Amino acid sequence: MPVVKVKRPELAAGEKVYLGAIVKGFFITMKHAFDSLRGKTRGADTLKSSGLGATMQFPEQRWDDQMPEYYRGAPTLVTDEQGRERCVSCQLCEFICPPKAIRIEPGEIPNDDAWAKVEKRPKEFDIDMTRCIYCGMCEEVCPEQAIFLRKDYLITGGSRAEMVHDKKKLYEIGGVRVGLVNKWNELK
Amino acid sequence: MSDSASTTEARLPKDLAAEKGMVNVQINGVWCQVPKGTRMIEACRMFGVDVPHYCYHPKLSSPGNCRMCLVQMGMPPRPAPGQEPSYNDEGYLDIGWMPRPVIACANTVTENMGIRTTGDLVDKVRQGVMEFLLINHPLDCPICDQAGECRLQEHSVGYGRGVSRFIDMKVKKPKNVDIGPRIRLDDERCIMCSRCIRFMAEVADDPVLGFTQRGTYTTLTVHPGRKLDSNYSLNTADICPVGALTSNDFRFEMRVWFLKETKTIDVNCGTGANIIVWTRGNRVYRITPRQNDEVNSCWMPDSHRLNFHYIDGPERLTEPMVKLDGVHQPATWDQSIRLVREALTNYPAQQIAIIASSRMTNEELHMVRKLAEGHGIDQISTVPRIGESDGKLISADRNPNTTGTRLVWKREDPAFRLSAILDGVRSGEIKALLVFGEDLTAEAGFTQEDLSKPEFMASVQLLAGPTAEASHVVLPGAAFAEKRGSMVNVTGRLQRLNRAVEPPEEARDDWEILRDLAGSVGPYLIEDVFKDMAGSVSEFADLSLSKIGDLGVVVTETGVTIPLLENERARKASGEIVG
């Protein structure tokens, strides 16, 4: 590869004294400051500004309704319109989970249960949210359409134990999903 | 001229093979020599060619009913009358391929036969068989315990067409049927391979299973009024290629792909069945038999298979304890070991007795012997455990290592001093008692009162019980799945135990406890213990734990045979099974 010698640009006297540039910058800053006070910041609308400048005042204001359909938030378990917990604890999500955040203890559905024919459901289902990387592989691998990544992103806790979502919490966040494949229907 | 012609003819491959009792078979284009009378499927297996199958099992008769092992077969065309066979350059006859496939499991090889396990015909028939098998198979995989080790899953991926063309309703059959205390049946998953039926009839000698109905309605059932309650029933779950028969004990416990397999041996009787321990983390989930044609074939009794839950049960001892004012207090290993060593030096040797166990490994027994010799203790014994053989795999000797104890202690009856020790304890002559791995109130015949007699009693125990309760020092040892070592089974075969899980909490490997009790600094490796032992036991000379291998080595002749193997050999000799 040929060597290209780049010549440094010749600076004029005014350019060599950088005070001029500083003053120029100062005026630009002041222009934006006044613009923001007058509510005329560029892009304030698209960025859902809270009023002053382009900044959204989190957590008073939220980005939630702007989030795309494919946003990957906290993984959760869902029930369907028949009120059946869809997870059958096949443990494929536990297997695929790259950071090993999921732990499932399978259990048997007792014979007197309305869904006894499904035979299996999780006794315990824990997702460690300090480990979860929101990759969505659990949702992708689930053969029962039972685990979905919701838009919840504010996962906080005062201790490590609080950051572990147990089965109850997962169903609480997950809620009901309608229109999923009903594999365990009356024909089954 | 005629001489040289006859030599050329004599050197044809068919003659060379015939001299050795072999035949030449072309498998996927490669000529191989296999013994005469070999099944085609076995011939393929010998040369690393896998033929998918469901119903075929080398230890069972071959009904050939699953049709999965269909392969293309070819033979040289029969010469016309008066026509001489024309050998090609390699000395073989050209193969004429048959237009229809044959099953590889029930046909035997012949000279100059050709087998193709690939190609359009074979691919197509396999796809067809898979499609038929899947007509009524439910989509249960997410809840099925067999998932992950299911032949139907594997072959469906390997040879199936991927999508179903059937739009009709699937045939309904009984699901979740309780057919026995340890086995669950799901008829919809059954592919009618009949392996379980044949196993119960031919090996377990308790023919309770059978098919009813016909065609797609064929249903596996248990004989009316009977249960699948044989002590060998869980083997049917092992050989079931699908999830039709599953174990109640392992039901929904863990998916198999999480489990780590450790090859070791069973310690519930003198047979020492070869097993695989399936673990995840530090928990044992199940035990399955491992094939060893000299010990347990492919099977094991249910009673032995399920006897592992005590390993992490509530009775398990996990920390050393010392009795203070009649109450056990947790102690450190240093403290507990020191107390026992003080007792060993303070009491005169004739007032000390050691009761070891033939459930211990050779290495541990060797160290017990050295400990006794070191202190001049003469009163050492094991506890005999004699039951009744079941005529199959369970040996009358319920101790797994009686033969090993004989070899290591160099005594014909290592338990003969037991009654003397019991008398000594009762009369008060024996003031200090060391117990290794035995609960004396069980087979040893001690009463609770006897246990309270010795002034000092220390025991290495797995589980809480009367002996641990009575001991002044309780040292928690390791269970069979937690240690390495070797044992000699009733037939004189030296076999190896491998560590599948770590001892829980403070519990320690028994040989380490014994080393510390002897007060020696080393050894640090069980291999060194074996080396030391091999120096004094001639049968183990030139051996090491790694040289024992997975299948063990015969070190002594005992004249004892395993009835199930005798039966299997007879059936093999009669040509009923491949073996």
Query: B169, A88: Cβ pair inside 8 Å?
Result: no
Sign of the C-alpha dihedral computed for residues B24, B25, B31 and B33 taken in this order: negative
Average pLDDT over residues B260-283: 96
Tell me which residues of chain A have a C-beta less than 8 Å from any C-beta of chain B.
88-92, 94-95, 106-108, 117-120, 143-144, 183, 187-188
Indicate if B469 and B328 belong to the same structural domain.
yes
Whether the CB-CB separation of B14 and B112 falls below 8 Å is answered with yes
Average pLDDT of chain B is: 94
Identify the band that residue B548 occupies on the pLDDT scale cut at 50, 70 and 90: very high
For B247, phi then psi, to 5°, come to: -85, 130
Whether B570 is covered by a domain: the verdict is no
Give the residue ranges of the annotated binding site of A for [4Fe-4S] cluster. 87, 90, 93, 97, 132, 135, 138, 142
What pLDDT does B7 receive?
52
Whether the CB-CB separation of B54 and B181 falls below 8 Å is answered with no
Among candidate residues B275, B290, B312, the one where a domain is terminated? B312
Of all residues in chain A, what percent are helix, strand and coil, respectively (each to 5)? 25, 15, 60
% of chain B residues with pLDDT over 90: 91
Indicate if B435 and B365 belong to the same structural domain.
yes
Average pLDDT over residues B186-202: 96
Identify the band that residue B1 occupies on the pLDDT scale cut at 50, 70 and 90: very low
What pLDDT does B10 receive?
56
Tell me which residues of chain B have a C-beta less than 8 Å from any C-beta of chain A.
138-139, 141-143, 147, 169, 175-176, 251-255, 257-258
ipTM above threshold 0.90: no
Tokens of B516: 């510390």
Burial label for A163, CB within 10 Å (0-12, 13-18, 19+), is middle
% of chain B residues with pLDDT over 70: 98
Residues of chain A contacting residue B147, judged by C-beta atoms under 8 Å apart: 90
Whether the CB-CB separation of B65 and B193 falls below 8 Å is answered with yes
Closest CA to B241 of B130, B164, B163: B130
Residue B21 neighbours by CB under 8 Å, 6+ apart: B35, B36
Query: B257, A95: Cβ pair inside 8 Å?
Result: yes
Indicate if B331 and B471 belong to the same structural domain.
yes
- Tens of pLDDT, residue by residue over B265-274, are 999 999 999 9
Which value, to the nearest 10 degrees, does the dihedral of the CA atoms of residues B458, B468, B428, B335 take? 30
| Closest approach of A45 to chain B, Cα-based (Å) | 48
Of B142, B175, B251, Cβ closest to residue A90? B142
Query: B139, A183: Cβ pair inside 8 Å?
Result: yes
What pLDDT does A84 receive?
92
Query: A95, B258: Cβ pair inside 8 Å?
Result: yes
What pLDDT does B110 receive?
95
What pLDDT does B9 receive?
52
Residue B19 neighbours by CB under 8 Å, 6+ apart: none
Average pLDDT over residues A71-88: 94
Degrees to nearest 5, angle at CA A184 with A183 and A185: 95
Greater pLDDT, A53 or B561: B561
Whether B466 is covered by a domain: the verdict is yes
Residue A100 neighbours by CB under 8 Å, 6+ apart: A131
Identify the band that residue A57 occupies on the pLDDT scale cut at 50, 70 and 90: confident
Of A94, A118, A187, Cβ closest to residue B143? A118
Closest CA to A169 of A63, A74, A44, A27: A74
Indicate if B151 and B285 belong to the same structural domain.
yes
Residues of chain B contacting residue A144, judged by C-beta atoms under 8 Å apart: 142
Distance CA(B437)–CA(B360), nearest Å, equals 7
- Tens of pLDDT, residue by residue over B40-59, are 999 999 999 999 999 999 99
| Closest approach of A1 to chain B, Cα-based (Å) | 52
What pLDDT does A66 receive?
85
Residues of chain A contacting residue B143, judged by C-beta atoms under 8 Å apart: 88, 90, 118-120
Give the residue ranges of the annotated binding site of A. 87, 90, 93, 97, 132, 135, 138, 142
Indicate if B156 and B101 belong to the same structural domain.
no
What pLDDT does A178 receive?
92
Of A94, A95, A120, Cβ closest to residue B143? A120
What pLDDT does B2 receive?
44
- Tens of pLDDT, residue by residue over B408-458, are 999 999 999 999 999 999 999 999 999 999 999 988 989 999 999 999 999
| Closest approach of A150 to chain B, Cα-based (Å) | 23
Q: Is the pLDDT of residue B60 over 80?
A: yes
Indicate if B125 and B140 belong to the same structural domain.
no
Residue in chain A nearest B253 by alpha carbon: A106
Of A95, A119, A187, Cβ closest to residue B143? A119
Among candidate residues B312, B346, B372, the one where a domain is terminated? B312
What pLDDT does A132 receive?
96
Whether the CB-CB separation of B555 and B539 falls below 8 Å is answered with yes
Distance CA(B158)–CA(B130), nearest Å, equals 10
- Tens of pLDDT, residue by residue over B72-116, are 999 999 989 999 888 999 999 999 999 999 999 999 999 999 999
Among candidate residues B288, B312, B336, the one where a domain is terminated? B312
Residue in chain A nearest B144 by alpha carbon: A90
**DSSP H/E element including B530:** helix B526-536
Closest CA to A182 of A112, A82, A100: A82
Indicate if B238 and B333 belong to the same structural domain.
no
Whether B377 is covered by a domain: the verdict is yes
Q: Is the pLDDT of residue B150 over 90?
A: yes
- Tens of pLDDT, residue by residue over B346-393, are 999 999 999 999 999 999 999 999 999 999 999 999 999 999 999 999
Q: Is the pLDDT of residue A144 over 50?
A: yes
Whether the CB-CB separation of B329 and B368 falls below 8 Å is answered with no
Identify the band that residue A183 occupies on the pLDDT scale cut at 50, 70 and 90: confident
Indicate if B356 and B303 belong to the same structural domain.
no
Closest CA to A102 of A73, A122, A118: A122
The residue segments making up the domain with residue B287 are 136-312
Query: B142, A118: Cβ pair inside 8 Å?
Result: no
Provide the pairing of β-strand B283-289 with B274-280. antiparallel
What pLDDT does A51 receive?
80
Q: Which domains does chain A have, with CATH numbers?
A: 13-61 (no CATH), 67-174 (3.30.70.3270)
Distance CA(A117)–CA(A184), nearest Å, equals 8
Indicate if B149 and B96 belong to the same structural domain.
no
Indicate if B146 and B267 belong to the same structural domain.
yes
Count of CB contacts below 8 A, A vs B? 36
Indicate if B441 and B509 belong to the same structural domain.
yes
Number of folded domains that form chain B: 3
Average pLDDT over residues A75-89: 94
What pLDDT does B522 receive?
82
Average pLDDT over residues A90-108: 96
Query: B252, A107: Cβ pair inside 8 Å?
Result: yes
What pLDDT does B121 receive?
96
Q: Which residues pair with B32 in a beta bridge?
A: B25
Of the CA atoms within 13 Å of residue B24, those in its CB half-sphere come to 20
Q: Is the pLDDT of residue B225 over 70?
A: yes
What pLDDT does A54 receive?
87
Q: Is the pLDDT of residue B4 over 70?
A: no
